[in-house]
Chain A
Amino acid sequence: MTAHTVGAAFDPTRTWRLHPQVAVRPEPFGALLYHFGTRKLSFLKNRTIVAVVESLGDHPTVASALAAAGVDPDQEAPYLHALSVLVASNMLVIKESA
């Protein structure tokens, strides 16, 4: 079993990334995520959230990833909620500094 903290609190000021055991499969509606460790399936229901999730690791904060994907600050709420759900199910983990 891997040592990543399960269900860490979602702190948008940290750098997050996909769990290394998560596979992403693009779909017309967005993407399917499958976690080989927890064997859980999740759905990303639009292309924007897919772009955000895939680029999180390249941005120092969640806000900068959202901005880069074209999400206006007043539209952030549903995306922050979605990310917190992904954190709770261990699909996203904190990126340890290199």
Chain B
Amino acid sequence: MTSIAPVPRLIEQFERGLDAPICLTWELTYACNLACVHCLSSSGKRDPRELSTAQCKAVIDELERMGVFYVNIGGGEPTIRPDFWELVDYATEHHVGVKFSTNRVRITPEVAQRLADSDYVDVQISLDGATAEVNDAVRGPGSFDMAIRALANLANAGFADAKISVVVTRHNVGQLDDFKALADRYGATLRITRLRPSGRGADVWDELHPTAAQQVELYNWLVAKGDRVLTGDSFFHLAGLGAPGALAGLNMCGAGRVVCLIDPVGDVYACPFAIHDRFLAGNIVSDESFDNVWKNSALFTELRQPQSAGACGSCGHYDACRGGCMAAKFFTGLPLDGPDPECVEGYGAPALAEARDKPRPGADHSRGKPIMLTLQRPPAKPCNESPV
């Protein structure tokens, strides 16, 4: 009855939407000390309209009433907010679990102790290379050392099972075993997610997204070793590469159905990778409440209707991948009712080769345009390269 393996009837229930999200992503601020080239929220500068402490607490009250189990807090760099720990405490006191992503937890002994004592707070350290060379090319100079220091601090403070959060790219897909070893060294769990062409990611996606051969490599790695690796179910576009259920998780797009995003100014988007007017459901302040936006917005109502398979209708894999990721299609300029740009049947590639009109992300808080450092390919193990 409990399920790891997907059960169609349940997925259909989820596709019709729940009365409240299971969890949601909440970006607390657009301010960030880093300027990652692939930042999904184009973060950098704080937005003057960001929600106040009181407004944030009102959101938490609502999430408690709605029965939302936990929030994934990110940004920007959420710990930059002076009221960050106050909000974490407020959430856990109100039975809303917190998982937060950070690039540099500044752990005082008190904070470390508090984190270690709480079963309701989970920490994710972002890292996009198992070596400084690969990581810093994307996340900026010094960011690898900063993340490793944060992991060491957490481990020393007795915080068990932190998460190392990796966005899989063309340059780090060969390092999956190294990431796993790194996680094991710090008593952490590896979490890997898909690179989306969202935010500043739109500018670097062509260059950074894994090749077709690497997608197969990634899929095989997940099936062989993925049982103790978290993925946020983000690789469902690869589900067609093997038997149904081989890939752990629900493997469906939960956007506006079981998950969503609240951005720093209270705008509600269908998912964290869809910061654009096309996927804006409403605002928690101007539309009265989050509950109202979740239950009644025109966008979410539309997403909960049966979706057209479009050009994918005749493909035998459609039941497995459901046409892939809406945001990945949208920001690469592909039609929403066609194949994913990384379609396992290769139907995305010719579509990408045609002239495309790529929509610009909705909100850009970048401080200038970060430039990817020149990256030498890591010394790839020959066996990691596909012979085909």
Contacts and interface: CB of A to CB of B under 8 A. Distances in A.
Contact of A29 (B10, B22, B99): B10
Contact of B69 (A37, A41, A49, A78): A41
B1 interface: yes
Given A28-B13, A43-B10, A85 B2 contact: yes
A26 B9 CA distance: 17
Contact of A86 (B2, B19, B20): B2
B372 interface: no
A23 B3 contact: no
A78 to B, nearest CB: 7
Contacts of B2: 33, 42-44, 82, 85-86, 89, 91
A19 B22 CA distance: 19
A26 B244 CA distance: 28
B97 interface: yes
B3 A21 contact: no
Interface residues on A, range: 20 to 34
A58 interface: no
A34 interface: yes
Given A23-B69, A36-B97, A78 B1 contact: yes
B104 to A, nearest CB: 23
Nearest to A42: B2
A45 B119 contact: no
B45 interface: no
A41 B1 contact: no
Contacts of B160: 1
Given A1-B119, A78-B1, A82-B1, A45 B22 contact: no
A36 B119 contact: yes
Nearest to A33: B2
Contacts of B112: none
B81 interface: no
Given A29-B13, A34-B69, A36-B97, A42 B3 contact: yes
A57 B139 CA distance: 50
A32 interface: yes
Given A1-B160, A36-B97, A43 B3 contact: yes
Given A32-B22, A34-B69, A49 B119 contact: no
Contact of A45 (B7, B20, B67, B99): B7
Contact of B22 (A36, A41, A85): A41
Nearest to B122: A39
Contacts of B1: 43-46, 49, 78-79, 81-82, 85-86
B120 interface: yes
Interface in A65-88: 78-79, 81-82, 85-86
B24 to A, nearest CB: 13
A27 interface: yes
B186 interface: no
A2 interface: yes
A64 B97 CA distance: 34
Contacts of B70: 34, 36, 39
B303 to A, nearest CB: 18
A14 interface: no
Nearest to B68: A25
A46 B97 CA distance: 26
Contacts of A49: 1
B157 interface: no
A68 B9 CA distance: 27
A93 to B, nearest CB: 14
Nearest to B258: A32
7 contacts: A1-B119, A32-B69, A34-B69, A36-B97, A41-B69, A45-B9, A79-B1
Shortest 5 CB-CB contacts between residues of A and residues of B: A82-B1, A42-B2, A34-B69, A25-B67, A85-B2
Interface of A: 1-2, 21, 23, 25, 27-29, 32-34, 36-37, 39, 41-46, 49, 78-79, 81-82, 85-86, 89, 91
Given A1-B119, A34-B22, 17 more contacts: A1-B160, A2-B119, A25-B20, A25-B67, A27-B19, A32-B69, A33-B2, A34-B70, A36-B70, A36-B97, A39-B70, A43-B2, A45-B10, A82-B1, A85-B2, A86-B2, A89-B2
